[in-house]
């Protein structure tokens, strides 16, 4: 089980939101590149970047901070980016800059033809982020709930050739209330591609719970607020996950 530290970017800073609300923001670092280096030194084997401004604007807005992170760690571990990636030219620029994966969220729901084209043009580099509440998919930086069922969309995207699905329970994200393991397992059991759990990771008990269902197809989890406010020690959590996965 891989733990992936999240670096959420807003106005060039590393921040965390509660339930995706831009007005519920806490700044954790003025230097995202230094934060990336910190997680690398703590044992991170992948990084998860979110351009929050880009998610709302519809195009990346934190390019300088993203490039600084890639300059710092991009040649040592894979880095994935979501937020405002809604055309093939943007994907091309992202991968050229040194990103390993791009995460398509809103555009996958609103423009499935684009997602299909992206998987064809950039095989092995496209991940879909499905953000949901009560099983329904949300878009536009979580500001709009759709009528789409998570599992139905995920199956369609799997057919397109996406590399993995990131599943976020937006009711739990940033709230430190624990991962929605049941819903994540339900999704993973419906697919053959890997699922990355997201939203609510808060304790070593969450790590244990996810490792217990790793064989269902959940290969990683994204760690956010808990590793920033100190309630979860990232290094200890990854060590525990490695021990449980090897058992």
Catalytic residue among 51, 53, 131, 173: 131
First and final C-alpha spacing in the chain:
12
Q: How confident is the model at residue 33 (pLDDT cuts 50, 70, 90)?
A: very high
Lowest average pLDDT, out of 78-87, 120-129, 169-178, 211-220, goes to: 169-178
Q: At what angle do helices 88-97 and 112-121 cross, to 10 degrees?
A: 40
Q: What is the DSSP string of the chain?
A: -EEEEEEEEETTEEEEEETTEEEEEEEEES-HHHHHHHHHHTT-S-EEEEEHHHHHHTS---HHHHHHHHHHHTTTS-EEEESS--SHHHHHHHHHHT-SEEEE-HHHHH-HHHHHHHHHHSTT-EEEEEEEETTEEEETTTTEEEEEEHHHHHHHHHHHT-SEEEEEETTTTTTTS---HHHHHHHHHT-SS-EEEES---SHHHHHHHHHTGGGTEEEEEE-HHHHHTSS-HHHHHHHHHHHHH-
pLDDT at 141: 54
pLDDT at 78: 98
Lowest average pLDDT, out of 21-25, 34-38, 59-63, 150-154, goes to: 21-25
Beta bridge partners of 169: 132
Cα distance between residue 188 and residue 233, in whole Å: 26
Q: Is residue 205 annotated as a catalytic residue, yes or no?
A: no
Tens digit of pLDDT for each residue in 147-183? 788 999 999 999 999 999 999 887 665 555 678 899 9
Mean pLDDT along residues 195-217: 95
Lowest average pLDDT, out of 1-5, 23-27, 96-100, goes to: 23-27
Contact of 50 with 83, CB cutoff 8 Å: yes
Cα distance between residue 6 and residue 117, in whole Å: 27
Tens digit of pLDDT for each residue in 115-129? 999 999 999 999 999
Contact of 195 with 164, CB cutoff 8 Å: yes
Q: How confident is the model at residue 103 (pLDDT cuts 50, 70, 90)?
A: very high
Contact of 45 with 67, CB cutoff 8 Å: no
Tens digit of pLDDT for each residue in 6-22? 999 999 999 987 766 67
pLDDT at 143: 57
Q: Is residue 117 annotated as a catalytic residue, yes or no?
A: no
Cα distance between residue 169 and residue 180, in whole Å: 7
Beta bridge partners of 172: none
pLDDT at 148: 86
Name the more confident of 199 and 41: 41
pLDDT at 140: 64
Tell me what the pLDDT averaged over the chain comes to.
92
């Amino acid at each position: 089980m891989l733990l992936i530290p999240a670096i959420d970017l807003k106005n060039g800073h590393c921040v965390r939101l509660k339930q995706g609300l831009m007005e519920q923001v806490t700044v954790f670092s003025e230097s995202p590149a230094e934060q990336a280096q910190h997680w690398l030194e703590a044992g991170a084997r992948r990084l998860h970047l979110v351009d929050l401004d880009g998610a709302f604007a519809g195009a990346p807005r934190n390019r300088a901070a993203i490039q600084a992170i890639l300059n710092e760690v991009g040649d040592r571990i894979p880095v994935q980016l979501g937020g405002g990636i809604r055309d093939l030219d943007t994907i091309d620029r992202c991968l050229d800059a040194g990103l390993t994966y791009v995460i398509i969220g809103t555009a996958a729901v609103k423009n499935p033809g684009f997602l299909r084209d992206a998987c064809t043009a950039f095989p092995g580099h496209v991940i879909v982020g499905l953000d949901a509440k009560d099983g329904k998919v949300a878009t536009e930086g979580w500001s709009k709930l759709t009528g789409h069922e998570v599992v139905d969309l995920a199956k369609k995207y799997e057919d397109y050739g996406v590399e993995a699905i990131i599943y976020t329970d937006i009711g739990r994200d940033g709230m430190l209330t624990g991962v929605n393991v049941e819903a994540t397992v339900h999704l993973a059991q419906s697919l053959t591609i890997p699922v990355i759990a997201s939203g609510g990771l808060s304790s070593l008990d969450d790590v244990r719970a996810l490792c217990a269902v790793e064989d269902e197809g959940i290969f990683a989890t994204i760690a956010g607020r808990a590793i920033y406010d100190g309630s979860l020690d990232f290094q200890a959590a990854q060590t525990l996950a490695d021990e449980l996965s090897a058992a």
